[in-house]
Amino acid sequence: MNIAVLNQPKSRRTGKDAPKTDPRKTRDVPVWDPANGPDHSTVRMSEPARHTKPETPADYKPARNIPEPPEKSSGRSTCYYIDPIDFLAKEAEGQLELNVSLRYLSDPNVIRIEPQYGPVWYLKPEGKRTYTVFDQRIQYADRTKTVVAVKPFARSVKLRTDALNALVLNQMPVEDADRVQLVTERDLPQWALANFRLFHSVRNDRHWHCYGELLRAARSLVIPLPIDDFAKPWGGSKAVFRTVALLIFEGALRQVEPGEIDDTTMIIGGTTQGEQQ
Model confidence pLDDT, tens digit, residues 164-189: 999 999 888 888 899 999 999 999 99
Q: What is the DSSP letter of 108?
A: T
Cα 277 from chain centroid (whole Å): 15
Give yes or no for a contact between 186 and 153, defined as CB atoms under 8 angstroms apart: yes
Question: What span, in angstroms and rounded, lies between the C-alpha atoms of 84 and 108?
Answer: 11
121-163 tens-digit pLDDT: 899 988 899 999 999 999 999 999 999 999 999 999 999 999 9
CATH 3.40.1350.10 domain span(s) along the chain: 78-188
Give the largest Cα separation in the chain, rounded.
Answer: 67
Higher pLDDT among residues 34 and 246, named by residue: 246
Mean pLDDT of 193-215: 93
Q: Is 110 helix (H, G, I), strand (E, B) or coil?
A: strand
- The model carries a pTM of 0.73
Backbone φ, ψ for residue 21 (5° rounding): -125, 125
> 78-188 domain in CATH 3.30.413.10?
no
Q: Is the pLDDT of residue 65 over 60?
A: no
What's the confidence (pLDDT) of residue 127? Answer: 86
Question: What span, in angstroms and rounded, lies between the C-alpha atoms of 193 and 190?
Answer: 5
Side-chain half-sphere of 197: how many Cα atoms within 13 Å? 12
Mean pLDDT of the chain: 80
Mean pLDDT of 18-44: 49
Mean pLDDT of 62-68: 52
* 207-269 CATH: 1.10.10
Q: Which residues have CB under 8 Å from 204's CB, separation 6+?
A: 82, 84, 87
Q: Is the pLDDT of residue 37 over 90?
A: no
Side-chain half-sphere of 224: how many Cα atoms within 13 Å? 8
CATH 1.10.10 domain span(s) along the chain: 207-269
Question: What span, in angstroms and rounded, lies between the C-alpha atoms of 116 and 234?
Answer: 43
pLDDT classification of 39: cutoffs 50, 70, 90: low
Q: Is the pLDDT of residue 84 over 70?
A: yes
Higher pLDDT among residues 32 and 260, named by residue: 260
pLDDT classification of 270: cutoffs 50, 70, 90: confident
What's the confidence (pLDDT) of residue 161? Answer: 93
Question: What span, in angstroms and rounded, lies between the C-alpha atoms of 247 and 249?
Answer: 5
